[in-house]
Amino acid sequence: MKEEIFMKSKKLVALGLAAAMCVSLAACGGSGSSSGKSSSGSATASSGNVANKDKPVVWYNRQPSNSSTGELDSNALHFNDNTYYVGFDANQGAELQGTMIADYIKEHKDEIDRNGDGTIGYVLAIGDIGHNDSIARTRGVRKALGTAVKDGDNIDYQAIGTNTDGSAKDVQDGSIDGVDLKIRELASQEMKNSAGATWDAATAGNAIQSWSSSFGDQIDIVVSNNDGMGMSMFNAWSKAQKVPTFGYDANSDAVAAIAEGYGGTISQHADVQAYLTLRVLRNALDGVDVMTGIAKADDQGNVLEEGKDYRYDEENRSFYALNLAVTADNYKDFTDSTKVYEPVSKQLNSDKKKVWLDIYNASDNFLGSTYQPLLEKYDDLMNLDVDYIGGDGQTESNITNRLGNPNQYDAFAINMVKTDNAASYTSLLQ
């Protein structure tokens, strides 16, 4: 009898321990891993004891802001204590692009005026009238070339259509010190296709054909807000005409094209941006100082140099990579745009975590050919299992509809279609 009671008691204890173990595992939320290079969202579960509203969030590439005024969206940037923005210094890069073009004109002043009319004519492909980066780049070019017109306290950034006789109100005929030639913006246009997608390369290719029919050898320089549009115009017309074309992003095809006459481009230090995008999330997930592996070396020796690689705006919780000019003098140093940045290339030892990351337009040349390949290298180095979600570049819902279960993720990296629409994402995490 005693033996029977003992065996029953032993069985009950075993059952109790098994039940307790199950409860414990449920509370911890298992976090296995699947291939992070997918776009399915079929990921492993996150640690279930953290509310979605408290999980780390990084806005990247498109800073939450008013698309009309440029005013930053403070609510989005301070969504929670682990929310940050990662991008590049738009104003510094814009000034650098303008200076690069002005320097090129100075160096080639004796031969750049193709028809000898005393005027250096340029055409400008504008990416998105309402995008802060596009605004900055348009302003930077106009300022450097002397064609800027003030709109209140700021330089006018509107597209002018065509400006055959120099009478457009949003620009003026300009000049550059040391160059005895007039500079005129012959035409500018927002490159938006019929479906509403901006920064559209195909539209830029069509635009240069139209402009060349109107202006012919009056066009001495082609300028673009990015390399995607710049290369479309270069391949469609300016390469054959030997007209220097200047873009932005330092995409691999644009860098290679410098050997064939592409005038130059601007590197956004995409390697630093991609690193920061995931590093900020990694630090938050590990509960360490946000500057670990950024301003101060981590245990592996990863560290960036502030003022050379990036700058940090503490008030707006924003990290900005610093830009570099890429010209015929140094383009060979930039031929591999997807190479990780050596100072931050060491493997971390942190536990695997699950990240949801979207790219606003799966077809975007810079994000698709440069940024995502870099992210995929850094996610391995940081032990992050990332689901990459490619959008259509037109609607937020095309992306947000695929964040059906945020509970399965530990952190979020968000690239908006429109800078005004941060609430479309944060509402899903509330």
| pLDDT, tens digit, 9 for 90 and up, residues 30-66 | 333 333 454 433 334 455 689 999 999 999 999 999 9
Q: Which amino acid is at 226?
A: N
What does the pLDDT look like over 304-362, one tens digit per residue? 999 999 999 999 999 999 999 999 999 999 999 899 999 999 999 999 999 999 999 99
In terms of phi and psi (left: phi > 0; alpha: psi -120 to 50; beta: otherwise), the region of 228 is alpha
Q: What architecture (CATH level 2) is domain 109-243? A: 3-Layer(aba) Sandwich (3.40)
Bridge partners of 264? Answer: 246
Structural tokens at position 61? 């590439």
Asked whether 359 and 415 are in contact (CB, 8 A), the reply is yes
> What pTM was estimated for this model as a whole?
0.74
pLDDT of 430 above 80: yes
Of 247, 228, 267, 306, the closest CA to residue 88 belongs to 267
Asked whether 336 and 377 are in contact (CB, 8 A), the reply is no
Biggest CA-to-CA distance, the chain: 115
Q: What is the pLDDT of residue 48?
A: 60
The rounded distance, in Å, linking the Cα atoms of 127 and 223 is: 11
The rounded distance, in Å, linking the Cα atoms of 65 and 73 is: 5
Of 78, 86, 90, 93, the closest CA to residue 61 belongs to 86
Read off φ and ψ for residue 10, nearest 5 degrees.
Answer: -60, -40
Range of lowest pLDDT (13-27, 52-66, 322-336, 389-403): 13-27
What does the pLDDT look like over 67-121, one tens digit per residue? 878 799 999 999 999 999 999 998 999 999 999 999 999 999 999 999 999 999 9
Q: What is the pLDDT of residue 68?
A: 78
Asked whether 215 and 166 are in contact (CB, 8 A), the reply is no
Q: Where are the domains of the chain?
A: 31-88+270-429, 109-243
Q: What is the pLDDT of residue 360?
A: 96
